[in-house]
A = this chain, B = another copy of it.
Amino acid sequence: MKKEKLLMTPGPTMVPHEVLMAEAAPMIHHRTPEYSDLFTQLNKNLQIVFQTKNSVLTYPAVGTGGLEAAVVNFFSPGDQVLVTSIGVFGERVATIAKAFGLKVDKLAMPLGKAVTTELIEERLKTKNYRGIFVTHNETSTGAFNNIKAIGEVIKDKNILFIVDAVSSLGGLELKTDEWGIDVVVTASQKALMASPGLTFLSISDRAFEIAKTSKCPKFYWDVLKAKAAMEKPSPQNPYTPAVSLIRGVNKALELIIEEGLQEVFERHSRLAEATRHAVEALGLKLFATEGARSDVITSIKMPEGIDGEGIKKIMSEKHGVIIAGGQQDLKGKIIRIGHMGYVDEGDLIKTIAALEKALLEVGYTVTLGAGVTAARERL
């Protein structure tokens, strides 16, 4: 039988049927009252899930575009910024910032670790940074940063605080206003459980003020144009919006709000705890350091002699579960299980069962059921 595969990756993630159907509704035009109503609802729902009173802008683009927007709108060539990096996505922000002529100091941690507030404080003593970029959840390693603690360190310091929450928002707690975050970037296809193709930026009043003086060239990503269009009596976009994806993500946000934000975070936390417990019961090691282990993705070290790419392939082809392998230097050395967005306990059990089978099939000794039993103890 050819059954649809379970998508346990760190994005794109599984999309609820209701969301897919919203995306597939007959097309509407974006200069109509119907669209303005939809866009107004979207903007309100985004504010709830972002936990902010700030405007949240929507762009037809994926998360990398949102990160580029965060670079080009709030800085000018030559501006000194601190980019913290705990993996692939921190590196990407640094690359984008350099491409636009910013002076980038990178604070990179060994893979699997989070950045510490002490290291950030040290750096802040050396220079007057215009901004700091922090990845909330780093899917490439399965580690996450403590955004609240970092927010406290940079509070009152006149440094723009920009958080890449592409893979965390809607999965990990993130209090945009309470934690003093100027710009939060996320995307539709991770914990927000819609199709890829939309990126969102919440922007503080202070950041909008700074945007007026930014000298990086821009048109598509211009936040001031997007804000002006959004604040018209009938909210609009400066150019054609991705109507079907907006309908989808609006439905997904409704589902999240209906479940309750706290309940959603607790579900993610429970699934993550169960995954970690199962991994250890199978005699495997977690890749991310204790205390930095993310609740939306679990990265697992492969034992000596076991190729992660092989495990991934067997899980997909024989057991119908898609997980992710390691990226770049970690390829083959780790596997990554995404448990973000539209994932329930049954999905996780199916995944752990598939992992057990795949491990046995490559000759790694494991008691069949040990992982599943351990997971269920925490579910």
Contact = CB atoms under 8 A, between A and B. Distances in A.
Chain A interface, DSSP helix/strand/loop, else mixed: loop
Given A12-B27, A220-B68, A196 B322 contact: no
Given A61-B60, A61-B61, A316-B32, A12 B243 contact: yes
A245 interface: yes
Given A197-B242, A219-B64, A24 B26 contact: no
Interface stretch (A14-22, A265-273, A288-296, A345-353): A14-22
Contacts of A26: 4, 7, 14-15, 20
Contact of A62 (B15, B60, B219): B60
Number of copies of this chain that the complex holds:
2
A138 interface: no
Nearest to A66: B220
A332 interface: no
Contact of A24 (B14, B20, B220): B20
Given A61-B65, A196-B60, A197-B244, A29 B217 contact: no
B20 A219 contact: no
Given A61-B60, A218-B99, A243-B196, A24 B27 contact: no
Contact of A65 (B32, B60, B100): B60
5 contacts: A12-B30, A60-B61, A62-B241, A195-B245, A197-B197
